[in-house]
Structure 1
Amino acid sequence: MLIAKWGNSLALRLPADYVRRIGVKEGDQVQASLTTDGGICLRAARWDRQAFSRELEKSRADMPMTESVMDELRREARY
């Protein structure tokens, strides 16, 4: 395998046989982790509905409901 420069990052090209074995395609996400012996472990990232729901709920909690932007614009007559 070859490591190449990709912008400010480095990229690793996966052989087609590896790609077929793990069942990924262009645009898919993978999870990378370091092993205790210094290796890298790549796994296809599967969509987790519960994790997504928790992340969405946290995002909603971080964005308090405020006055409608359109109502504010109409009141100020800026449109």
Structure 2
Amino acid sequence: MQTQLGKWGNSTGLRIPAEMLVHLGGDKNARVEISPLPEGGLLIRPVVQAQPCSKTPAEWAEQLRALQRSMPVGHSVVRQMRDEEL
């Protein structure tokens, strides 16, 4: 598929046909990453943004407490190393 470059302020813009926009998630305001290819040409990929965290600080704290409770209790490594030195 061919398209055309055009002036956009002090830059040059690339028009992406609607049929190709589907590959970027269909969002005309999507952020993309453009990389040069060694053999010439450009690689255009959508930028995957991290999903916002939906947990509250209290929920994080409770998850950490639950993980701590699930950890096996063993001997202190520092104490064991100190005892081995004697």
For this structure pair, what is the TM-score category when the shorter chain's length is used for normalisation?
0.5 to 0.7
Equivalent AA in structure 2 for residue 30 of structure 1: V
Who wins on radius of gyration, i.e. which is larger?
A: 2
Q: Which runs of 4+ in 1 moved over 2 A?
A: none
Instruction: Provide structure 2 residue ranges, at least 5 long, that are not aligned to the other structure.
Output: 52-86
TM-score (norm 2): 0.51
Q: 1:46: how far off?
A: 0.4
TM-score where L is the length of structure 1: 0.56
Aligned-residue offset at 1:23: 1.3
Two-structure CA RMSD over aligned residues (Å):
1.4
Distance (whole Å) between structure 2 residues aligned to residue 8 and residue 19 of structure 1: 24
Task: Provide structure 1 residue ranges, at least 5 long, that are not aligned to the other structure.
Answer: 50-79
Q: What is the identity percentage for the equivalent residue pairs of Structure 1 and Structure 2?
A: 31
Name the structure, 1 or 2, with higher relative contact order (CA <8 Å, separation 6+).
1
> What is the letter of the counterpart of residue 19 of structure 2?
D
Secondary structure, counterpart of 2:20 in structure 1: helix
